[in-house]
């Protein structure tokens, strides 16, 4: 359910709705709570809800404010900033910075946001031992063309993917300069979906916080929360069960934090889900060491990068990766359907 009580989109409706595996739960809905006779418990004001697309993901913003003029002015500012950042990171726009970099193999005068995200991607690559790699875009194009477009079909798609990974996937071949970004091998391509949506959520939430908004739910592909729920309790977030996406497998009570969920089941290329959109850059194959992972961290971008890194590297590397970011925690769903919680200081324990 969304903050206004309306139903969330069905998971897997389309490629662009793959992040709908994560939605605010019904228990956190403001409208039903107020209708239930507890209006006096909530601060004076109104929940403003706005839906949009960011980097191809269905997204949502909910903020609480007593002044409708200020709220609508802030939403207009959010709309402008999202459009600007979409022009940097979106692979769905041919004129975006990332699309021009992939097309030309270089990008002159990149924005500071583009440089920052590429540098962050390389840091996650180093931390994860190469399990995280923003240069997997050629693998996406190979699998999409094979399974969805009926071109570049190969008798052995996995062998073809391994060849692409060996030749075109290597974060160390991205030269990030102040005035030019260069892809050192022809045919390379980058994607920032694994951290870019979290970055946008952070930017919008921080912008609203700076304007005095103290209750914000920003789902811009990943989630960033400012403050607590307007009723004075944590936001309750539902994690969908990977084996039955019509149900919530676990609820998390959160505030002032970033949240990201990664799961290959969200965007499979074919019915068996063996081939999905989360790739191991070292082999070219789809990662399959767990069913899903949810990560909370001080920022949505950090949570986003940690989730992808652990999903590919495996839970045996989780403590090291989480330990690099104080306060980060993970909830892992194993391939067998077991739910595990983790913190860097205590390892894994059933929750």
Q: Which long-range contacts (CB under 8 A, 24 or more apart) does 102-107 make?
A: 102/137, 102/183, 102/188, 102/189, 102/190, 105/182, 105/183, 105/186, 105/188, 106/180, 106/181, 106/182, 106/183, 107/180, 107/181
Q: How far apart are the first and last CA of the chain?
A: 24
Q: How far out from the chain centre does Cα 278 lie?
A: 12
Tell me 268's DSSP state: B
CB-CB contact of 93 with 102 (8 Å): no
Query: What is the H or E stretch that residue 197 is in?
Result: helix 193-210
Q: Tell me: the pLDDT tens digits for 100-123?
A: 999 999 999 999 999 999 999 999
CB-CB contact of 202 with 301 (8 Å): yes
Mean pLDDT score of the chain: 81
Answer yes or no: is pLDDT of 350 > 70: no
Q: Which two tokens stand for residue 219?
A: 């789902």
pTM of the shown model: 0.83
Q: Tell me: the pLDDT tens digits for 163-212?
A: 999 999 999 999 999 999 999 999 999 999 899 999 999 999 999 999 99
Which of residues 4 and 100 earns the better pLDDT score?
100
Q: Tell me: the pLDDT tens digits for 246-289?
A: 777 788 999 999 999 988 767 766 676 677 788 999 999 988 88
pLDDT of residue 331: 92
Instruction: Select from 81, 32, 91, 53 the least CA-distant residue to 231.
Output: 32
- Quickly count: other Cβ atoms within 10 Å of residue 327's Cβ: 12
């Amino acid at each position: 359910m969304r903050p206004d009580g309306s139903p969330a989109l069905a998971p897997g409706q389309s490629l662009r709705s793959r992040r709908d595996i994560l939605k605010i739960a019904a228990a956190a809905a403001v409208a039903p709570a107020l209708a239930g006779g507890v209006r006096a418990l909530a601060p004076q004001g109104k929940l403003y809800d706005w839906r949009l697309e960011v980097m191809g993901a269905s997204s949502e913003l909910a903020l609480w404010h007593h002044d409708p003029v200020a709220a609508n002015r802030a939403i207009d500012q959010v709309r402008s900033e999202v459009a600007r950042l979409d022009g940097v990171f979106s692979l769905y726009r041919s004129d975006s910075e990332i699309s021009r970099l992939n097309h030309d193999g270089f990008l002159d005068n990149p924005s500071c946001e583009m440089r920052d995200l590429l540098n962050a991607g390389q840091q996650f690559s180093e931390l994860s031992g190469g399990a995280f790699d923003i240069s997997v875009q050629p693998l996406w194009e190979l699998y999409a063309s094979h399974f969805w477009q009926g071109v570049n079909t190969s008798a052995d798609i996995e062998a073809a993917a391994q060849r692409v990974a060996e030749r075109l996937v290597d974060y160390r071949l991205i030269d990030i300069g102040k005035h030019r970004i260069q892809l050192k091998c022809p045919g390379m391509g980058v994607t920032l979906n694994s951290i870019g949506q979290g970055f946008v959520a952070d930017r919008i939430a921080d912008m609203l916080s700076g304007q005095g908004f103290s209750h914000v739910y920003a789902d811009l592909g990943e989630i960033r929360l400012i403050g607590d729920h307007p009723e004075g309790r944590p936001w309750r977030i539902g994690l969908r069960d990977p084996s039955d996406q019509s149900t919530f497998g676990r609820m998390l009570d959160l505030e002032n934090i970033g949240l990201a969920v990664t799961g290959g089941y969200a965007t499979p290329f074919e019915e068996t889900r063996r081939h999905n959109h989360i790739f191991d850059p070292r082999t070219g194959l789809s990662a399959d060491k767990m069913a899903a992972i949810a990560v909370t961290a001080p920022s949505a971008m950090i949570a986003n990068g940690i989730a992808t890194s652990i999903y590919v590297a495996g839970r045996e590397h989780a403590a090291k990766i989480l330990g690099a970011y104080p306060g980060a925690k993970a909830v892992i769903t194993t391939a067998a359907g077991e739910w595990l919680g983790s913190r860097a200081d205590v390892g894994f324990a059933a929750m």
